[in-house]
Amino acid sequence: MTETGLDGDAAAYLAVLRRQAQPPLHTLTPALARQRHEATASAVPGIPRPVERVEDAVLAGIPVRWYRPAGARGLVVFIHGGGWVTGTLDSYDRLCRDLAAGAGCSLVSLGYGLAPELRLPAQVDQVVAACRALAAAGEGAPVLAGDSAGGYLALAAALRLGGGGMAFRGLALLYPVVDAALDTPSAQSRATGFRLETETMRWYWRHFLGDAPAPARPAPAALAGLPPCLVLTAGFDPLCDEGLALAADLKAAGVPVVDRHYPGQIHGFLRLGHVMAATAPALDAVCAFLALPGG
């Protein structure tokens, strides 16, 4: 692995992970991977950011968690990461609190079904159903926000719903998964040692797809007409280059893009504010986008 340019806090965090010497996630069963994911999230120290009202509910048959700060304006639909195999409403609770409180928006986090029990396109179908239910309830045009694998679901749902005439204020794609090929320079140069590993990403895709062929990356022409997009990328992330390429394709399609690249950071750093000073200003940038009237 090459560490030149790696943020100091990120380097210290990765050193801790190396000392723990846990087996790579892709060597585990989905059940064990989920246990590790939840244990890691629950071990984060400190008190979660307060939000005036936090309520669990069911929306279009999907478990959801609503975050409603005092004086909230606007709506964010949040789709968690975890490679479609791991991740829950609980493990992304802190990030959702940070986003809702920081943006001053109501936020609904979707507890979509995980792979391999459910596979593509089931998760996209669930996101679409939830967005349609919110629209039917008169909630107004949301920002659709996705973290990592959730970014893939957010983009896929927006493309499907946009064709049906549903309006969004924007898309916020946080170090998104875009392409199953995993053949970019960053997927090779950042393949191991930087938290998310390329082989783990392949493992996620296999569980997500099953025997189905990998979906084609969206062509630039298919992206035309999308609302303003925030694309956040991290330089020490195997997914970095596919995120940067997506931002370029969106711009080529005429979509307004807010491009936030953090060259010294690793995948998932928005959830590592307890150990990384760079997390807070990056969260501020995301929240500023979520709060914009047009995105």
Phi-psi region of 254 (alpha: psi -120 to 50; beta: other; left: phi over 0): left
Rounded CA gap, 211 and 236, in Å? 30
Residue at token pair 């609980």 = 90
For residue 254, count other CB atoms closer than 10 A to its CB.
Answer: 12
Rounded CA gap, 64 and 62, in Å? 6
181 and 214 Cβ atoms separated by less than 8 Å: yes
Residue 18, amino acid? R
Q: Which tokens belong to 80?
A: 């968690």
- Residue ranges of the chain with per-residue pLDDT less than 70: 1-2, 294-295
Cβ neighbourhood burial of 204 (10 Å; 0-12, 13-18, 19+): buried
Report the SS3 class of residue 82: coil
Q: Which tokens belong to 259?
A: 């491009």
Cβ neighbourhood burial of 223 (10 Å; 0-12, 13-18, 19+): buried
Rounded CA gap, 15 and 275, in Å? 12
pLDDT tens-digit series, residues 107-154: 999 999 999 999 999 999 999 999 999 999 999 999 999 999 999 999
Strands 62-68 and 257-266: unpaired
Q: How many helices (H) and strands (E) does the chain have?
A: 10, 8
Report the pLDDT value the prediction gives residue 1, as an integer from 0 to 100: 45
Report the pLDDT value the prediction gives residue 294, as an integer from 0 to 100: 63
Rounded CA gap, 212 and 79, in Å? 23
Give catalytic residue positions.
148, 237, 267
Strands 106-110 and 62-68: antiparallel
Beta-bridged to residue 261, according to DSSP, are 233
Report the pLDDT value the prediction gives residue 4, as an integer from 0 to 100: 85
Span 8-291: which CATH code?
A: 3.40.50.1820
SS (H, E, C) 95-141: HHHHHHHHHCCEEEEECCCCCCCCCCCHHHHHHHHHHHHHHHCCCCC
The CA angle 230-234-237, to the nearest 5 degrees, is 130
The CA angle 43-123-171, to the nearest 5 degrees, is 80
